[in-house]
Amino acid sequence: MTKASKGRSSFGVRVAEADTVPKRYILPRYVVNAIKEMSPPYGSQGRTIQVGAELLSRIQFHPIPLNPGLKRGILGADDRIGMTYKLLPRTIEIVEQFVQKYDTRAGVFEAILTLLSRKFIA
């Protein structure tokens, strides 16, 4: 696997398309909507999940208290829908690592969104 050339920004070498793996998750509608809403500053939904998973892997105390405001105002918030994200293998490993602590993959994604919605992460 090779790295692609430098992008427009000076943040370093970009990850090549071949390094990402499409992974499908069955998630509640409010989780999918929250990922879509939070993704513009990160550039993509996969990158949003990657940043949140890296933060989650560095938090010392688990499980973290989840944000109850994520479900607010979304019709059919608990309906399950399938969503495919292009993720790095490390991100997939982190999600699988925390499934036991958060009961389901949806719980891990909710923890990721809770971390990303915080202004200060201590």
Q: What stretch of H or E contains 54?
A: helix 45-58
Is 80:27 a contact under the CB 8 Å cutoff?
yes
pLDDT tens-digit series, residues 19-41: 899 999 999 999 999 999 999 99
Q: Is the sign of the CA dihedral 52, 113, 78, 67 positive or negative? A: positive
User: What 8-state DSSP symbol labels residue 37?
Assistant: H
- pLDDT tens digits for range 73-104: 777 778 899 999 999 999 999 999 999 999 99
CA distance 60 to 88: 23
Which two tokens mark 114?
């809770």
H-run or E-run covering 18: none
Would the pLDDT of 113 be above 80? yes
Q: For residues 1 and 16, is the Cβ–Cβ distance under 8 A? A: yes
For residue 65, what pLDDT band results from cuts at 50, 70 and 90?
Answer: confident
Whether 108 contacts 67, CB under 8 Å: no
